[in-house]
Every structure is written in C-alpha cells, then in structure tokens.
Structure 1
Amino acid sequence: MHQQPKATSLKQKLEFADLLKRRLLETYNDQIVAIGLYGSLGLGTSGPYSDIELHVITLDGAEIPGHEFIYDPFKIEISSREESAAIRRASEMSDAWPIKAGSNIHIHPLYDPNEFFKRIKKLPLQISDEQFLETMREFMIWEPYETMGKLRNAMHTKNLSYIPRGAMDFAWQVAKLIGLANKRYYTTRAKTYEESLQFVSKPAGYVDLVQLVMRGKLDDPEEVYMRCEALWEGLNAWFEHLGIEYTNTKLPW
C-alpha cells in the first residue's frame, strides 16, 4: 500500500527537528560545529506538507553522512558539510545562486555555539557585481541560447509537442537570469515566478510568457512559440542594456 504525504503541524515538525538534533549530538557530539533548519522551516513559512531540512556542519576532517528519508509522517533531508566546504558553498557563484542562496541566509539555528550560521549568511551577498554579470554571460550560452535553438528546431520540424516543455524550460532559465541581474534570491522554488515579476530589471516579453506558464495555458503551440520569440528578442536587448556581450568575434584558440 502506497503511503501518501501527511499533514503535520509546525509544532510537530519543530519537536521532531529537536529530536534529530539531540540524536546527532549524542552520536557525533565533538565533530559537530552547528545544526540548523533551512528551507521553509528556516524561513518561517512552513506548510502542513513541508519537509524538515537540516544543515549539519562538521569540523574539517570529520565525516557525517547526509540522509534523505521518510520517517512517517515526516520527510527528512539532512545535508552534511565540513566547515570549510560550507563556507565555500555559501561564497560561490553559479546560475543556481538565485535558487540556492536563501538556504545559506535563512537558517534557524538549533545548535550553534560559535554562531557559524550568523557568519555564513553574509557570504552570498558579498559576491561582486562583476561575478553576477559574468555568470549571466556564461549561463546565457549554456542554457537559454540552446533552448531557443531547440524551440526553433521544433517549429521547423513541426514537433509541436516540445513547445510547451521548451517554453517552461526557457521561462525558468530567464527567471534565474532575472534573479542574478537584480542580485536577488528567491525565497522558495515554488514562488520563483511570482517573485521574479516584482523585481525591477527584467527583459521585455518575460511577463507575457511567464503568465502563460503560471496559468498552465500552453495548449496553443503557435502562441506559446511567438511569446518565446518575443522574450528572446527582449532578452538580447536586456543583455545589451546591461553591457553583457555573450558572442565571440574570434575563435578562442
């Protein structure tokens, strides 16, 4: 018989998270630097079906395995990182920054005697503007440019079933670019599109496409494709406005 996700209260989640903390400290006490809740519990927006997500930070050289499991009625995710690795992760820049930065900023400490989480929450916001722009340039080449090519190929070959999937990929990729351009992270993946619409800098055509995606109105491939083309035009004009040149004028070797 298949188990279904079950609703649990905030009180139940916090009590179980405290139990997990105590069990971890009993087992690995002298190896642990800090334990904290992230995700919706760390942010304070937990719903009845939300997971319990824990960061476990260890001394360098200590190895505590991470786990992701169901302990009915809870879904548990425990990430384990050495102290230096956690600092590097909080400081790094990638196209995933708008999605992941919040997990290093909104942490509710359960055990943190040396205020480790207070120190690392500043790191994602200390990345330079130049790094944000360079990440946008690289990501444009890796993902949106390629996705737009796939969309055009699909229209050329009349593979219309791909258009909705390609449009969703394209909208998600541009949402990440919008987060990078505004140096803003999304509170949760579930609110990415809604929050992206509130950010000041975004390309023309984005609102029209993302509203179709949010409403699930992707059954007209011709309309969806034209909105992707409009966003592509707006995306390139936006990059030009931001001073990001992503095409080469000579070969790299």
Structure 2
Amino acid sequence: MFPKLRKTTHEERLRIAHLISDRIVKKYRSNVLAVYICGSTSKKLDRPFSDLELNAVVRDLAEIPMKYYLHRGLIIHIQYLKSSSILDDAERFTDNWHWAADEYRNRIVLYEWDGWFRKLDAAVAKSDKADSVEAIRKSFMMMTESMAVMRNAMLTKDRVRVLMSGRVLAEQAAGILLLLNRRYVTTTSWFWKIAFDLDKKPKDFKELVEKMCGFVPTTGEGVVASSERMYKEIYEIVRDHGVKIERDHLWV
C-alpha cells in the first residue's frame, strides 16, 4: 500500500510522544538519562504534516540505533544520543550552530534521571560565551568553495549547475549571517523569515537572495551577478568581524 501522510494535531503528537518515551524507558531501562521533544513540536510551531522529533539521551556505553519511520501517517524521528556527545556538542559554537542550537535550548521534557538537564543547560551557557570566529571562517570557506563550483559551471556553460549553485550560495550566506548575529533557526519553515530579519546583513540581502534562489523571475546571468555581489558583501562583513580567510604561507 502506498504510504499516506495524515494530518496530526499538536495534542496528538504530545500523546504519542509520551507513549514513545514510556516504551523507551521500559525497554532500555537504566541506560536512559533523558527523553525530550525537540523541533517544531517543542515550541508548538508544528503544522498538520510536521514530523515528531525526539531525543533520547543514553549512557555512553549504550549503542542504540536511531529510529525513523512512518506511523499511521505521522513521521517519527527518534535519536539516541550519548550523554557526553550531546553535552560536548551543546557547548561548542560550530559552523552548524544555527541549525543545532535550538534542540539544546527548546524542549518538552518527557523523562529525566538525576537532573540531567542541568548539565545540558550548563553546556549551553558555555556555548553562549564561545568565540564565533572559527565557525564563521569555516562557513565562509565553504561559501568560497561553492563560488568556485559556480565559476567552473560558467566555464563549461552548465546552466543547471549555475542555478543550483545560486541557491546553495544564498543559503550559505544566510548561515554565515545567522552565526554573525548569533541567531539560530527555531523551525526550518522560518529559515528565510529569520534570515531576512537579522540586524547585521547586507542592505540588499533579501533582493539578492530572491534572485539567487529564483524566488523572482531572473536569468542565469542574473543569478551569477547576484551571487558574485553577495559573495563580496558577505566577505566584507566577515572581514570586519576579524575573520581571516587568506594565508600568506602554506598553513599546516
């Protein structure tokens, strides 16, 4: 039978989440330190077809594979994360911080053993004070590589690759700006809304994004021109933040 997605209410997701949590604790017993809802459901931003995301924190010696499946029309995603790994990740400020930060800060607790969430909150506090320069440098280097991909595509007149690169560059530019502004994505459907509302960004940021992503009518040449301009303007912001991109010597 063809898989069918079904509309699910927020209250129904919570009910199912509690059932799952009870089964996790019953099955894995003392290996479980915490279970919580993350993602859009944790902030009551879930929509009719949103998935249900849960994190189960387990002891470091436990090896439990993630579960990802469709249950009566609801997409369910359960991650079993080792305690030391999630605490280490939560206190770092990495190039993926704008995507990962939310799940460490917004949650609905379903189960907790021995005050484990106090450790998570302490790790998050360290992340809030961590230096952002290296994360921004790495993110801009990834954008630089995407710029190289676009220029290679221009040389070979690969229009599809040019258009794909424009969207990638736009998303990478937004990611860099999120890091610079220390803003994280609360739900994926709000990604561009959050990015467009940032304080520190190029004045023509939204206009460039719309052309690079094809949100407005444009041409391949228009995508390239907007991408080149975006790259230059993001570099200027990154440079002014104290991030060094080029090296005069071979850095090892």
Q: State TM-score, norm by structure 2.
A: 0.91
**Matched residue, 2:180:** 181
Question: What SS does structure 1 have at the residue aligned with 2:93?
Answer: coil
RMSD over aligned Cα atoms: 2.1
Question: Post-superposition shift, 1:83?
Answer: 1.6
- In the alignment, what sits opposite 1:27? 27
* TM-superposition CA deviations, 1:182-224 (whole Å, max 9, x none): 1111112221111011111123543222233566336511111
Query: Are the equivalent residues in 1 in contact too, given 2:31–2:59 (CA < 8 A)?
Result: yes
Percent identity between the two aligned chains: 23
Instruction: Decide whether the 8 Å contact of 1:204 with 1:235 is kept in 2.
Output: no
Amino acid at match of 2:224: Y
Alpha carbons of structure 1 residues 130 and 12: separation in structure 2 relative to 1, 3 Å: closer
Instruction: Give the match for residue 190 of structure 2.
Output: 191
1:137-180 superposed Cα distances (whole Å, 9 cap, x missing partner): 12222x11111112222223322222221011001111111111
Which residue number corresponds to residue 45 of structure 1? 45
8 Å contact from structure 2 (residues 3, 73) kept in 1: no
Q: State the distance in 1 between where 2:108 and 2:130 align.
A: 31
- CA displacement at 1:66 relative to structure 2: 2.0
Distance 1:252 1:95 in 2: 20
SS in 1 for 2:247: coil
| Greater Cα offset, 64-73 or 113-122 | 113-122
Residues 195-234 of structure 1 mapped to structure 2, 5 A cutoff: 195-212=194-211, 216-217=215-216, 219-234=218-233
Letter in 2 for 1:46: D
Q: Is the 8 A contact 1:51 1:77 kept in 2?
A: yes
1:131 counterpart = 2:131: yes
Alignment of 1:229-244 (within 5 A): 229-244=228-243
Moved more, 116-125 or 38-47: 116-125
Between the aligned partners of 1:220 and 1:204, the Cα distance in structure 2 is 22
Instruction: Classify 1:155/1:218 alpha carbon distance in 2 versus 1 (closer, same or farther; 3 Å).
Output: farther
1:1-253 mapped onto 2 (5 Å cutoff): 1-127=1-127, 131-141=131-141, 143-212=142-211, 216-217=215-216, 219-252=218-251
Secondary structure, aligned partner of 1:101: helix
Counterpart Cα distance in 1 of 2:68 and 2:42: 17
**Superposed CA offset, 1:46-86 (max 9, x none):** 11111111111122323333211112222111111222122
Aligned equivalents of 1:130, 1:52: Cα separation in 2: 30
Q: 1:221 to 1:124 in 2, by over 3 A?
A: farther
8 Å contact from structure 1 (residues 93, 131) kept in 2: yes
Cα distance in structure 2, aligned partners of 1:85 and 1:134? 20
TM-score, reference length from structure 1? 0.91
Taking the aligned partners of 1:236 and 1:86, their CA distance within structure 2 comes to: 32
How far residue 32 of structure 1 moved from its aligned partner, in angstroms, is 1.2
243 and 137 in structure 1: CA distance in 2 versus 1, 3 angstrom threshold: same
**How many residue pairs are counted as aligned between the two chains?**
252
- Given that 1:205 and 1:230 are in contact with CA atoms closer than 8 Å, whether structure 2 keeps it comes out as no
